[in-house]
Amino acid sequence: MINMLDLKPGDRLQLREGEFAQVVANMEDGMWVEVRTLETATAEPDPSEEPQLCHAQDIVRLLTPAG
């Protein structure tokens, strides 16, 4: 189980439904992070895309911690 408080901006996530996302901000409420979706696990996010909320239950695993 991922501790949401550990997630940092830049972290890449594998989500349910085969989706990927990159953390934009962590409000540190332990439930949600703001993310931008990714085409693939290694793709770059579209900076013009409005960040959306991603819930802990939607996250399958942490792919790449932010450097």
Residues of the shown chain interacting with other proteins in the complex, contacts defined by CB under 8 A: 16-17, 19, 27, 29, 31-32, 53, 55-58
Residue 27 or 43 having the CB closest to other proteins: 27
Least separation in angstroms between CB 56 and other proteins? 8
Query: How many of the other CB atoms lie within 10 Å of CB of 11?
Result: 21
Residue 16 or 65 having the CB closest to other proteins: 16
Q: Which residues, 6+ apart, have CB-to-CB distance to 12 below 8 Å? A: 20, 21, 22, 23, 38, 41, 62, 63, 64
Q: Quick check: 20 and 38 in contact, CB under 8 A?
A: yes
Residue 53 or 66 having the CB closest to other proteins: 53
